[in-house]
């Protein structure tokens, strides 16, 4: 099952999908589905004829009647109004259509990190450290922005993402890094989980989240540590034969040793990861900024140059056919749409 995200993928149009309208939006492709929501690509044409591509997210039908989850969608849109970061996909609007709420988000022309890592494997390429750390530091910048968001009165909202996975990390074809789907995860409290039977992504949960404990901003830092571990190791951190075993590993924070793949200053990387992946939240980094500073200290000491332009160039150079396939499919679908009424 695809992760929920706002970038889309090269999987093409699902068989039997029929475009439909949501107000002035025409929805023409389903691009993601997760445990809580479906994500669609849509186009809106303004009264002056300008077309705008956006992503629309809606709760699954069987969850839409849950008041707490519906309210979380509204909360996400309200919080987004106070969040401005180049590393967070922006929420644009909240639309109600036929009794269903849709959240309209910024469309990022690119791929999620899951898809990109699959392309590296398919093309038998190793992820360059410059690429890896550009993406990861962008993620930490986005997490810092989410944790620091304040309301209109300047009060810290103590926002926690709780769903930082490769599928929710978008990389545009220009090398931009954007974190998406912040906010709705706040609604996955244990009572809602029990009532709706939502199963979380245990592979990317902090031990306190997996065990139903108290969640803070440091829960996100543990998850960021998992993402970094996997980028460096080139494989999933929690690997087990059964979902129950993965759950046990997550609850116990049974973190395997980072494989030594000839990375520079392996011990330095190990120390960075060890602090982010402590079972006790109080022993982790104080903030996403502290985690970011530790990573950047390593990057500078190793002479690794981070460049958005180079990341975009790398994607184009090595995955041009894949990028072209995504773009051509988008244009084909848009071209088949009936024009919107003015």
The partner residues of 42 in beta bridges, in order of sequence, read: 27, 54
Task: Tell me which of 68, 98, 153, 163 is the catalytic residue.
Answer: 163
The Cα–Cα gap between 185 and 48 comes to 37
Active site residue 254: no
DSSP secondary structure, 4-62, as one string: P-SS--TT-PPTT---EEETTEEEEEEEEE-SSEEEEEEEEE-TTS-EEEEEEEEE-TT
Contact 46, 151 (CB under 8 A): no
Alpha helices in the chain (DSSP H): 67-80, 113-122, 129-147, 190-196, 207-210, 217-233, 243-252, 266-276, 288-301, 308-335
Nearest Cα neighbor of 60 from 116, 1, 117 is: 1
Distance CA 267, CA 130 (A): 19
For residues 94 and 77, the answer to whether their CB atoms sit within 8 Å is yes
Point out the residues that are catalytic: 163
């Amino acid at each position: 099952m695809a992760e929920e995200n706002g970038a889309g993928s090269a999987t093409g149009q699902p068989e039997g999908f029929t475009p439909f309208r949501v107000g002035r939006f025409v929805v023409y492709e389903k691009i993601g589905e997760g445990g809580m929501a479906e994500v669609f690509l849509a186009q809106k044409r303004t009264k002056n004829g300008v077309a705008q591509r956006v992503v629309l997210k809606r709760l699954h039908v069987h969850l839409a009647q849950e008041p707490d989850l519906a309210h979380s969608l509204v909360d996400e849109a309200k919080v987004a109004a106070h969040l401005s970061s180049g590393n967070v996909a922006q929420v644009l609007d909240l639309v109600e259509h036929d009794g269903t709420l849709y959240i309209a988000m910024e469309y990022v022309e690119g791929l999620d990190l899951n898809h990109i890592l699959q392309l590296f494997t398919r093309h038998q390429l190793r992820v360059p450290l410059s690429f890896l750390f550009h993406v990861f530091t962008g993620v930490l910048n986005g997490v810092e922005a989410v944790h620091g968001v304040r309301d209109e009165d300047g009060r810290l909202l103590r926002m926690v993402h709780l769903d930082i996975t490769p599928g929710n990390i978008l990389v545009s074809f220009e090398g931009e890094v954007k974190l998406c789907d912040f906010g709705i995860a706040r609604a996955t409290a244990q009572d809602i989980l029990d009532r709706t039977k939502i199963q979380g992504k245990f592979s990317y949960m902090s031990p306190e989240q997996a065990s139903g404990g108290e969640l803070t901003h440091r829960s996100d830092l543990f998850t960021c540590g998992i993402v970094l571990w996997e980028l460096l190791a080139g494989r999933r951190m929690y690997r087990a034969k059964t979902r129950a075993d993965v759950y046990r590993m997550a609850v116990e924070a049974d973190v395997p040793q980072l494989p030594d793949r000839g990375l520079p200053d392996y011990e330095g990387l190990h120390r960075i990861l060890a602090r982010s992946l402590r079972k006790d939240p109080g022993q982790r980094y104080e903030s996403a900024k502290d985690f970011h500073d530790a990573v950047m200290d390593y990057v500078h000491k190793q002479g690794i140059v981070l460049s958005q332009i180079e990341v975009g160039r790398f994607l184009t150079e090595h995955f041009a056919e894949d990028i072209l396939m995504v773009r051509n499919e988008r244009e084909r679908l848009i071209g088949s749409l009936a024009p919107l009424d003015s």
